[in-house]
Amino acid sequence: MTNKWAIFSFMNLAAPIYCIIMQVVVGSVTYFMCIPTIYRNDDQTQFWHRACFLIFFIGLVVNYILCFVTRSTLKRNQVIQPTKRDDSSATVLPMYSSESMKEWTYCTLCRLDSPPRCYHCPICNECVLKRISHCFFVGRCIGHFNHRYYISFLIYTVIVAFYSLILYLNYLHDDFGSPFSLNIISFLYPIALGQFFLGKTPLDSLLLLTLTYQCLMYTVGCTFLFFQAWFQLTNGQTPHETHNKISIYKYTMKENIQIVFGRKWLLALILPWPTALPKDGITWEVSNFTKNL
């Protein structure tokens, strides 16, 4: 068990470092090498490609940073408050009535009453409001307050990775041919590696092919994660609730989107700018549909 958590702790440190390095490498190679080389004879097209890529890349980076710095941790002062006594031995009282705390649970590790949808993360070692999952690439738990940045981060990652993937394939055309022909076999990494050792493939092309596979992995992986997250979001469920078929907090699709992104959800989905959320992550009303059952 100790080795298991040691591995998780290492992953929680190594994965964000890897993710940041990939952002720097992909951003630099695409912006400073591929776009200028491919469109070297067309300054106007080069400008627009650079401008579009820069907008998407900034969106990726800002959402990643906001996802990391915005915590959804359950804090002591959110669920308990001191009595009016001034002495240091004063007890603490629940801030919520027993009626509103029917669905609350007690976390023995945090020694706090946890509201509905709040679960303890053994990696972060804290209770997280409306916990979605622990994201190793961010190094944080995804919860109520950084859920929107996580989804936007996935969207921008897919765009940047796919954009770069197409540009890399274009750039590698002279060395490997078209990937949409019989030359596709030359893009297989073992084949390309063999060609490199035979002196038929330059080192820079092999490294760019490696980066191409990374972009393909990010495109496919983050697309899957996005659709999974969006399905659960529109259904008003966390992964735990989806797995256990819990749907008592299910609102309309628009309400579910606004709970995550705020009232101006479309603007918040596009722009990585902090906006107020209609829920505090602690109080959750049972949906009207469930009440009528």
Residue 98 has pLDDT above 80, yes or no: no
Segment 168-192 shows an average pLDDT of: 79
* Ramachandran area for residue 75 (φ above 0: left; ψ -120 to 50: alpha; else beta): beta
Residue 197 has pLDDT above 90, yes or no: no
Name the percent of the chain lying above pLDDT 70: 87
The mean of the pLDDT values for the chain is: 85
Length of the chain equals 293
Pick the range with the lowest mean pLDDT from 88-97, 105-114, 182-191.
88-97
pLDDT-derived band of residue 292, with 50, 70 and 90 as boundaries? very low
User: Which residues, 6 or more positions from 45, have their beta carbon under 8 angstroms from its beta carbon?
Assistant: 39
pLDDT tens track for 3-23: 777 888 889 999 999 999 999
Q: What is the pLDDT of residue 83?
A: 47
CA separation for the pair 10, 96 (Å, rounded): 38
Give the sign of the dihedral formed by CA 177, CA 178, CA 179, CA 182.
Answer: negative
| 93, burial (CB in 10 Å: exposed 0-12, middle 13-18, buried 19+) | exposed
Residue predicted with more confidence, 11 or 179: 11
Segment 13-37 shows an average pLDDT of: 95
Cα–Cα nearest to 116, from 289, 287, 255, 288: 287
Q: What is the pLDDT of residue 139?
A: 92
Q: What is the pLDDT of residue 22?
A: 96
Q: What is the pLDDT of residue 178?
A: 73
Residue predicted with more confidence, 148 or 81: 148
pLDDT tens track for 233-278: 998 889 988 888 887 876 788 889 999 998 888 888 888 877 888 8
